[in-house]
Chains A and B, each alone.
Chain A
């Protein structure tokens, strides 16, 4: 049992981090009052942009191509999300339809470009991040082997971003204003703050973080752009709801979902898990989210002005 745990934990963490970043992006956007169902598409844009960048620069930059690709992925996600921001903030469009359009556009456009550039729909990169044990910390009993062994450096960068976001959203006046835009935008406006600008910030952050999530998939466990993130963006939305739109909540939810997904993937090779069909682990996050929605339906933590144009 212990050995099983130690061997699947690094995978669970690797799976969690892209979801955590995307979910955090969703948190920025939805807290500022804009529903973002386009996270799946924004992830895909980051995934694609970083794959192309790394493929083109890895010969000259070597290992430095990875952080460059990461940054390009973040920028691409942020730029692509402006489409959603413009539609839902300036044009008061239906945010669900706009988000769906973003998903479809990203899915079609990235493969279109990938086919044009590389001939097939896939873009393979030569290098990835090498997993390393964190010095000293990986020697701690129990926690060391579970959390600090065989980890990617991006994991720590992402966790720092998560912590900084928490501080920004909950400990600064800027964060208070951003969250107020999602609860009561007219009150924020009457205090002399530009609601549109705050929402633009929220949506752009969601694009940047989802782009980061997509890039992290590429340079950690995937190594190849293959035209889909297989529903991870939607799983991130589920985690956002299951985590009740709170930073600590989404950390817990994404990790929970990450473990469930990992178990489903490996359950057929681990004898102690074979008794449970993998389908239960795969559908578990979605069923859990539906149940959470039902349980919290009386006092939902969802931002009150979510989806309403201002």
Chain B
């Protein structure tokens, strides 16, 4: 067996993701320093704000739930070679359907939960399947179509909520959903000391497992990935490309709809109008950092959940504005988009190192990568 030192090293997705993450955090530190705050104190309060007691951990998990589902949605579409930038709109429509159900449908708890989840799934799937259909049938680029769908959803919610779901006091948000009609659960709320933690977390975990199963173990998953890898090759092999595009967008939309469910009926328990949910875009970061892998999405959603959930506490304890978390996420997306930089950097670094260790070999031998993510 070769010792670790003698191994040839190559850059891989994990290393590139970690590099982007570290650079994002460094950029955040520089920004904090530039306004005269100590970055170490800033990050200390950021992480304390999301992890210091059981209630805050619950809030972090609830924040991560939404990100996980959106990330899963974006990642699933990525696998089929589609870019679902419309998760925000799908979240809005899924959330709107669920909110309507929460206000109007009264059933025994298990049936009610099934209807609630089903309505969000259906709403999101509808909003995803339209761009999918336009792509398959008319070759309309899904990025443009989903952006248009986002704003159609935004304005529909903007006028629908005040007209039909208005709260007693405010014009700009829906009436609060009763706890018994929401995803909150007494047992969970008590366990996490009254946090926002809700059943959506389990919906997300089940979705991660289910999506991993679909992608790795079923014919559907195989054909979806084949279309993503090379649609012409897939077509030649007899896979119905267009049908797969529609199915992929439908599932991606459904997942984003579930994210809307977890956010609007679990986390906030009402819908504000005039807000494009930023989680729809954070989900792109989650998917990219997780290398579009369900397990990777799970962990990167937890990481972004920590960032998003601790920012309020940090803002209260230091002078650093809460937008630092969003800035860090944006920088991470930018660096994953430009990941070729890190690939070059690490490959060059490894080549030097490999040469130093095995000067006679011409570093062509392939070795299994250490972290196979």
Question: A residues bordering B, Cβ < 8 Å?
Answer: 37, 83, 86-87, 91-94, 96-98, 100-105, 107-109, 111-112, 115-116, 231, 234-235, 237-238, 241, 277-279, 282-283, 286-287, 289-290, 293-294, 297
Contact = CB atoms under 8 A, between A and B. Distances in A.
Interface in B257-291: 276, 278, 281-282, 284, 288
Interface residues of B, number: 47
Interface stretch (B44-52, B133-141, B203-211): B133-141
Contacts of A290: 134, 140, 145, 148
B227 to A, nearest CB: 18
B143 interface: yes
15 contacts: A37-B85, A93-B339, A104-B278, A104-B329, A105-B334, A112-B323, A112-B324, A115-B321, A231-B151, A231-B154, A279-B159, A283-B152, A286-B151, A290-B148, A293-B138
Given A94-B337, A108-B327, A293-B140, A283 B35 contact: no
A100 B158 contact: no
Contacts of A97: 83, 284, 288, 333, 336-337
Contact of B85 (A91, A96, A235, A289): A96
Contact of B134 (A92, A111, A287, A293): A293
A198 B338 CA distance: 21
Contacts of A111: 321, 323
Given A91-B341, A112-B323, A238-B148, A101 B138 contact: no
Contacts of A238: 147-148
A87 B330 contact: no
B153 to A, nearest CB: 9
A283 B330 contact: no
Given A112-B31, A279-B158, A287-B152, 16 more contacts: A37-B143, A92-B340, A93-B340, A96-B143, A104-B326, A107-B278, A108-B324, A108-B330, A111-B321, A115-B321, A116-B35, A234-B150, A235-B151, A279-B160, A287-B148, A297-B140
A88 to B, nearest CB: 9
A10 to B, nearest CB: 24
B331 A105 contact: yes
B155 interface: yes
Contacts of A289: 144, 148
Contact of B337 (A93, A277, A297): A93
A-B pairs, 9 with minimum CB distance: A108-B326, A104-B330, A105-B330, A101-B334, A115-B321, A282-B155, A279-B159, A112-B323, A97-B337
A286 B152 contact: yes
A245 to B, nearest CB: 12
Q: Which of A92, A108, A109 has the most CB of B within 10 A?
A: A108
A227 B341 CA distance: 31
A104 B333 contact: yes
Contact of A112 (B139, B276, B321): B321
B234 to A, nearest CB: 21
Contacts of B144: 237, 241, 289, 293
B156 interface: yes
Contacts of B152: 283, 286-287
Contacts of B281: 100, 103-104
Contacts of B330: 101, 104-105, 107-109
Contacts of A107: 278, 326, 330
Nearest to B327: A108
A115 B323 contact: yes
A102 B338 CA distance: 12
B333 A277 contact: no
Contacts of A237: 144, 147
Contacts of A100: 85, 281, 284, 333
A290 B159 CA distance: 21
A237 B338 CA distance: 23
Given A103-B281, A297-B139, A98 B151 contact: no
B206 to A, nearest CB: 28
Contact of A93 (B83, B158, B338): B338
Contact of B151 (A37, A96, A104, A283): A283
A283 B152 CA distance: 5
A92 B339 CA distance: 10
B334 A83 contact: yes
B323 A283 contact: no
Interface string B179-201: 00000000000000000000000
